[in-house]
Structure 1
């Protein structure tokens, strides 16, 4: 009987030991580990680091939830405000963080809870609470997004953001990380900065495919920019790409060739800039269209004020394609304009019905070259040169499908404000 009591006590002790969960040494404040039952030695739980760090104060309202995981991957992120309300956020493509859909509010406390799961199924949850800064008194850098919601664009349309004052070189990577472009179907690209920091442009290696949906977010509100400035606003827009249209203007022949889907529609006689005010040669993009506008160059060496119809802007400096009934006798023969491309009233009216903002316009054979940044000049350089302007690494596999820039008549696609920049209606 005594031996039986001893055996019972030993059996009970063994069951108790077997039921005790294995505790992995090492813990972090706010971190919890969940262990799934298994056989043999349990695999280590993933390690998670979250930013902002717990109890951080004075966090910018542009903050995102940064995640670093070892031995697993993030499987859940929960962000709530100090009233327990969820704050929607989207993951970065590289998994480095989650970006709130809207800027956070000033002087508020937020809680982020990040869960990572390892290959074995074990999970680790890290929790952090942080407080945002009071409203900043630093001067803002104004940003303008040249991409409008619900608009249809041409296949050469870059996404353009302009800044006033310019973004200093050392701050461009931080700004670029807050500029987001999504395309459907996917056509990844990159951003490229103008050397003066007044403008940054986004395009893919090839022209957009017709029907592509482009969603843009310039999430700069509250972003610290350099030591002494802060971002001004959060801009969003979603547009789509329409039919392929391109124009080629040749100074030698004084003709404009108009292509749609790779086919020549029509040739139009033109009069370009006279020798004292030449038209720029290069690859431009139609920036905006006016049924009626006024060119006003008062204050310049050649002042005039003239009303024009059917005008399409090509540069910030004031080069347009527009109706010029006064020069119809010279069109096709002589250059008489102040830098614009003059066409007949009938041709200008016809063009307005054919073109879209974002269509490629190539001018060749004139006395001067287009200055990079004078308009939407993303296609005025080859892909390799364009990619050099990125402040962040560009994926090595991102290359054009064509060995050279397509002829303007080629079908696009293939197998991503004043005073900065200066904007004026000074054409003629």
Structure 2
């Protein structure tokens, strides 16, 4: 094996070499931004002296990020996830601490970058624990759609929400005209958790509405799971119109801007028993076109199985307004359907083209089976404003 012979340096050269090594060490220290060891302290001697409350690879999700200066004061703090989205936050008045406005989401890696009052910088990374269960949600309208003046904002969750107040605080609904409203919590017909936002009075036509559900990092509570993303949605309020059904006269009217546009003879549900129609204030949920309707789906045995056109849904339990040509002899004369409001093909075609999801549909007159329960469609307009506000998880006026 070859050997390289080492020659001792003169004393003066050794002193110069040692001095150079010392200068290099100082330079490295000054350039290091604080690599971060995951234990809270950031930076080497020349880096920013700060500590972060969340550390390591299994940090607790759902906590605000807090950065504390252990020496000097903070000038700037940036906390971003792997996609570059920043957690907004504020530096306290004394400059010693920075706290994020929102919490850290589960299964996310964050990079914390700091700069203090001496220009020293530091960087640290931490990752939060994975979510054991993820909760998702669905809206009752498509983004950018136009809906009627009675349409509530309705959110349905995949899993139960026990921390209702924490979730409701993150639901922000804004309008271009300051519309007043409130959230209300209940279960839908299928037993799923639901929260609706209802205006105090019907929407004003032309209102622009924006919903921001800033839920990323919020815990639903026991058996509910975590939210791992934010949602946003917009819609516009359309024409001022409503449908009025009179069970006594057996007629339906479309009213627009307070004026009757057309009156149509109809046949509604058979009075008494399960075949009667619901009454009260309902909302046109969806225009479903031609669909298959079976009596078994609404608990009425084998009474019917038909393809039905111009179907306009009023309740989750299966009440519709639709074309019913097989019942032509009874329009305007006899209510003998299985609960729906039927009319001729021509009248149904016309009405279907005129109405919009979100239009109020009000059924009055004798022979109904009462009002549909809250959760069976959109029945909140049958409640007083005071009663509706009580279904919020927050104090009225705070949301």
TM-score norm. by structure 2 comes to 0.70
Q: Secondary structure of 1:346's partner? A: helix
> Once the 2 structures are TM-superposed, how far is the Cα of residue 281 of structure 1 from its aligned partner?
0.9
Higher alpha-carbon Rg = 2
> Once the 2 structures are TM-superposed, how far is the Cα of residue 236 of structure 1 from its aligned partner?
2.6
Structure-1 separation of matches of 2:83 and 2:292: 55
Q: How does 1:151-166 map to 2 (within 5 A)?
A: 151-166=145-160
Counterparts in 2 of 1:271 and 1:82: CA distance versus 1, 3 Å: closer
Query: Does structure 2 retain, via aligned residues, the 8 Å contact 1:251–1:363?
Result: yes
User: What's 1:87 paired with?
Assistant: 86
Query: Does structure 2 retain, via aligned residues, the 8 Å contact 1:54–1:128?
Result: no
Structure-1 separation of matches of 2:353 and 2:254: 12
User: What's 2:183 paired with?
Assistant: 191
Q: How does 1:179-218 map to 2 (within 5 A)?
A: 179-194=171-186, 198-218=193-213
Structure-2 separation of matches of 1:246 and 1:159: 18
User: What's 1:281 paired with?
Assistant: 279
If asked which structure has higher relative contact order (CA below 8 Å, sep 6+), I would say: 1
User: What's 2:347 paired with?
Assistant: 347
Q: Secondary structure of 2:329's partner? A: coil
Q: Note the alpha carbon deviations across 1:159-204, whole angstroms, 9 max, x for none.
A: 0011344434xx2212212222121122132101126762211022
Q: How does 1:322-341 map to 2 (within 5 A)?
A: 322-341=322-341
Q: Note the alpha carbon deviations across 1:281-336, whole angstroms, 9 max, x for none.
A: 11111111022111134464423321011111110101111111111211111112
Question: Could you list the runs of 5+ residues in structure 1 that have no partner in the other structure?
Answer: 1-28, 31-51, 67-75, 114-126, 397-415, 417-428
Q: Secondary structure of 2:386's partner? A: helix
2:252 is aligned with 1:250: no
313-322 vs 329-338, greater mean Cα deviation = 329-338
Counterparts in 2 of 1:254 and 1:173: CA distance versus 1, 3 Å: same
> Once the 2 structures are TM-superposed, how far is the Cα of residue 99 of structure 1 from its aligned partner?
5.1
Counterparts in 2 of 1:253 and 1:228: CA distance versus 1, 3 Å: same
Q: Note the alpha carbon deviations across 1:359-406, whole angstroms, 9 max, x for none.
A: 11111222322211100122121111111100001119xxxxxxxxxx
307-316 vs 218-227, greater mean Cα deviation = 218-227
Q: How does 1:400-419 map to 2 (within 5 A)?
A: none
Q: How does 1:213-224 map to 2 (within 5 A)?
A: 213-224=208-219
Counterparts in 2 of 1:97 and 1:346: CA distance versus 1, 3 Å: farther
User: What's 2:301 paired with?
Assistant: 302
User: What's 2:144 paired with?
Assistant: 150
> Once the 2 structures are TM-superposed, how far is the Cα of residue 63 of structure 1 from its aligned partner?
6.3
2:356 is aligned with 1:362: no
Q: Note the alpha carbon deviations across 1:347-370, whole angstroms, 9 max, x for none.
A: 111111211111111112223222
Query: Does structure 2 retain, via aligned residues, the 8 Å contact 1:78–1:86?
Result: no
Structure-1 separation of matches of 2:394 and 2:186: 14
Counterparts in 2 of 1:131 and 1:249: CA distance versus 1, 3 Å: farther
Counterparts in 2 of 1:301 and 1:266: CA distance versus 1, 3 Å: closer
> Once the 2 structures are TM-superposed, how far is the Cα of residue 88 of structure 1 from its aligned partner?
6.8
Structure-2 separation of matches of 1:213 and 1:128: 42
Q: Note the alpha carbon deviations across 1:200-230, whole angstroms, 9 max, x for none.
A: 1102212111111111233445531113331
User: What's 2:235 paired with?
Assistant: 239
Structure-2 separation of matches of 1:243 and 1:255: 22
Candidates 388, 391, 394, aligned match of 2:393: 391
Query: Does structure 2 retain, via aligned residues, the 8 Å contact 1:53–1:128?
Result: no
Q: Secondary structure of 1:329's partner? A: helix
Structure-2 separation of matches of 1:354 and 1:82: 48
Candidates 257, 260, 265, aligned match of 1:261: 257
Query: Does structure 1 retain, via aligned residues, the 8 Å contact 2:148–2:241?
Result: yes
2:168 is aligned with 1:176: yes
Structure-2 separation of matches of 1:166 and 1:112: 37
Query: Does structure 2 retain, via aligned residues, the 8 Å contact 1:315–1:374?
Result: yes
Question: Could you list the runs of 5+ residues in structure 2 that have no partner in the other structure?
Answer: 1-39, 42-51, 67-74, 91-98, 115-121
User: What's 1:167 paired with?
Assistant: 161
339-348 vs 312-321, greater mean Cα deviation = 339-348
Query: Does structure 2 retain, via aligned residues, the 8 Å contact 1:202–1:378?
Result: no
Q: Secondary structure of 2:279's partner? A: strand
315-324 vs 198-207, greater mean Cα deviation = 198-207
> Once the 2 structures are TM-superposed, how far is the Cα of residue 133 of structure 1 from its aligned partner?
2.0
